[in-house]
Structure 1
Amino acid sequence: MRAVVVKQPGPPDVLELVHDWPVPQLRDGEVLVRQSSTSVNPVDYKIREGAFKGKFPKVLGGDVSGIVEDSKAAEFQKGDQVIALTFGYHWDYNEYGSYADFTASKKEWLTKVTEKFPIEIGGGVPLVALTALQALQSGGAPKPGAHVLIQGGPGGVGHFAIQLAKVHFKAYVVATGGPSNQAFMKELGADETVDYKNEDFSVKYKDKPFDVIVDPIGGEVEKRCYTVLAPGGTYAHIFNEHTNTQNAEEAKKNWKDGRKYTLTLVQPNGEQLGLIARYMEAGKIRLVVEKEFPLEQIRDAHKEVEGGHVRGKVVVKVSA
């Protein structure tokens, strides 16, 4: 089968499309999926360039969207349309990546989707949507009407976090983004938006703190988030290469009012993906795709994501 292989870390040029990579051999409880689409996440290019201590050679990617080809799990049959997040996104996992014609998934990572779900671009959904959901409820499910701040609202995680906060948790949502994305974030459901280039959210909301803050950025943004976190509120940090838990340890020394710090490193979860898929099939939540690339142009897809400021996701089409 075709697969994109990284044999050693480096720039996008180390991404090599081969045509003789072995098709995964299933174990009990696993499902073989013919890939329709996958996507590029920041963790993919970070692994590729060696920011994390990955195992090589490696087929990158954990986002799965396609059709069951074979199954050793009674719950799934050939022809089922499915999506999943596998541990292929993780630097320590070296079995089945999703930058390939076929990938394998444990049954508990999968969920079936209907004809209303866009599997041809659905590979853009699993990692970012699960990250958003898991971060939002990491300190306990937000109550209806809770005030939620989403940093990086136009991005992959951010644009799902805005929608899930509104649709699933019935929250009041404030989202940050650049000047060209203010209307976009409102279209996704944000009640208020912050132009981070011209406004400081920590000043604007100094007297209107948040019950939940989802932050995939960190650094100085993280420190300012602490100043607008309500008593009993949750600061949900999303793991990335800039994560520094010492910031939280310093802050928590002064937190005597029930405020919580959570660190989200997304975990595969078919049940949660099923919830997200049902919302998408009902037209209540949508995936926004910045660009689509065929598997043959995977290097260009990586360059697009590395350039930053992607609105939504970059999707990789594996099969027609």
Structure 2
Amino acid sequence: MNAIIITAAGGPDVLQIASRQDPSAGEYQVLIEVRAAGINRPDVLQRKGYYPAPPGASVDIPGLEVSGVIVALGSAVTRWEIGDKVCALIPGGGYAELVLADADVCLPIPSGLSFAEAAALPETIYTVYDNVFRRGGLKQGEHLLVHGGSGGIGSTAIQLAKASGAFVSTTAGNSDKCAYCKSLGADIVVDYKRQDFLSILRDQKVNVVLDSIGGDYFEKNIDLLMPDGRLVYINAVNGKNVAVDLMKVMQKRIVITGSTLRARDVTFKAQLTREIGAFVWPLIGASFKPQVYREFKLEDAAAAHEFMETGNFLGKLVLTI
């Protein structure tokens, strides 16, 4: 099979196409002929050498989500059949013509979606569902603040929160991105390059914050949150070390939490898959639509990474085969 490999830690040019041996399905795995693979920030971090693959995952083929057709089954797999069209969350190896996935971490491609749209679903939906609804406990009628609403995670969080009956505020970096967030259903959008989100939202009753920024956003998030608020971290691009006013945390009874998904075990991901299949999958095509901004061919992965690092896009980027 052909695959995109990371030849060394570095810029987009270190991504090169190479020939690799076709993988074989283990007892509880399916072999997927990949038609599309989502591109995510962790892929960029892995390429730069900052985010090593977990044990058992491909160390030099990036890619955390794919869509395609099942072409082989492990001996213990009974849920799927050869020819089924699925999308899957995987720990790595998605930038390839073939990839293995645990059978319990696959979902059927929703009716009416292209392979590219389906490939844009798993990583963001799993991340948002686990962090906003499970860890953050967002409920109908509560107020969610999402930082970075125009990206893959943000666009997913806005749509799913609105579908659950929440009020949604978000931050974005320019007028086009702000308009895009509004089009997805965000109630309040703050252009963080021109406005201070703390000043704009100070009188709002924010219950949950989903933050990937960190740094000086931390104290502002604490100030905004209502008593019994939940502050959920999924990244810290502006700094992981922050000063904490513990008295504010205690007085407001704020829960500070966060998670990463890639290294979680299959048992956890399988349970998450079942919940997402039951609660999120019925929304797709109605209350939720995958946001694919641009498609690139597999062999153009380096150009796709270069484009991703510009930040000049809305939603998701996808590789297609």
TM-score relative to the length of structure 2: 0.89
1:85 corresponds to which residue?
89
- Partner SS state of residue 58, structure 1: coil
1:158-173 matched pairs, under 5 angstroms: 158-167=154-163, 169-173=164-168
Residue 135 of structure 1: aligned partner:
131
Q: Which residue of 2 aligns with 1:296?
A: 299
Distance 1:251 1:24 in 2: 51
Report matched runs for 1:1-320 at 5 Å. Answer: 1-18=1-18, 20-53=19-52, 58-72=60-74, 73-88=77-92, 97-167=93-163, 169-177=164-172, 178-240=174-236, 242=238, 244=240, 246-247=241-242, 250-252=244-246, 254-256=248-250, 257-266=252-261, 268=269, 269-274=272-277, 275-280=279-284, 282-318=285-321
CA contact under 8 A between 2:53 and 2:59: conserved in structure 1?
Answer: no
Aligned partners of 2:297 and 2:52: how far apart in 1? 28
* TM-score normalised per structure 1: 0.89
Distance (Å, rounded) in 2 between the aligned partners of 1:241 and 1:195? 18
C-alpha contact (below 8 Å) 2:136/2:231 kept by paired residues: no
Cα distance per residue 1:263-297 (max 9 Å; x no partner): 121254422442433311x4221111221100010
Contact 2:31–2:73 (CA<8 Å) still a contact in 1?
A: yes
Deviation (angstroms), 1:253: 5.2
Deviation at 1:242, TM superposition (A): 4.9
Moved more, 267-276 or 101-110: 267-276
Aligned partners of 1:82, 1:34: CA distance in 2, in Å?
10
Query: Where does structure 1 lack aligned partners over 5 or more consecutive residues?
Result: 89-96
How far, CA to CA, are the matches of 2:91 and 2:123 in structure 1?
10
- Indicate conservation of the 8 Å contact 1:138/1:264, yes or no: no
Deviates more, 1:42-51 or 1:201-210: 201-210
Q: CA deviation at 1:222?
A: 2.7
Query: Aligned AA for 1:159?
Result: S
CA-to-aligned-CA distance 1:3-50 (integer Å, 9 cap, x gap): 1111321211111101x3111111111011111111211111111111
Question: CA–CA distance in 1 between the matches of 2:51 and 2:185?
Answer: 35
**2:53 touches 2:91 (CA, 8 Å); kept in 1?**
no
- Retained in 2: the 8 A contact 1:63–1:127? yes
Deviations 1:159-206 (A, max 9, x none): 000001010x21011111122222211211111211212221111222
> Could you list the per-position Cα deviations for residues 210-267 of structure 1 after superposition, in whole angstroms to 9, with x for gaps in the alignment?
10011122212233212101110101111355552x427x244541132111112125
Say if 1:264 and 1:120 are closer, same or farther in 2 by CA, change over 3 A. Answer: same
**Is this contact kept in 2: 1:126–1:273, CA < 8 A?**
no
CA contact (8 A) 2:211 2:233 kept: yes
The CA deviation at 1:115 is 3.3
1:235 partner letter: L
Q: In structure 2, what is the Cα distance between the partners aligned to 1:221 and 1:299?
A: 32
Equivalents in 2 of 1:162, 1:143: separation in Å? 14
Which is further off, 180-189 or 60-69?
180-189
- Aligned equivalents of 2:209, 2:253: Cα separation in 1: 15
1-side partners of 2:96 and 2:160: how far apart? Answer: 30
Matches of 2:304 and 2:211, distance apart in 1: 24
C-alpha spacing 1:54/1:126, structure 2 compared with 1 (3 Å): closer
The answer (yes or no) to whether the contact 1:210–1:228 under 8 Å persists in 2 is: yes
Relative to structure 1, the CA distance from residue 62 to residue 272 in structure 2 (aligned partners, 3 Å threshold; closer, same or farther) is: farther
Rounded Cα–Cα distance in structure 2 between residues aligned with 1:4 and 1:205: 44
2:38 aligned counterpart, secondary structure: strand
Give 1:3's aligned amino acid. Answer: A
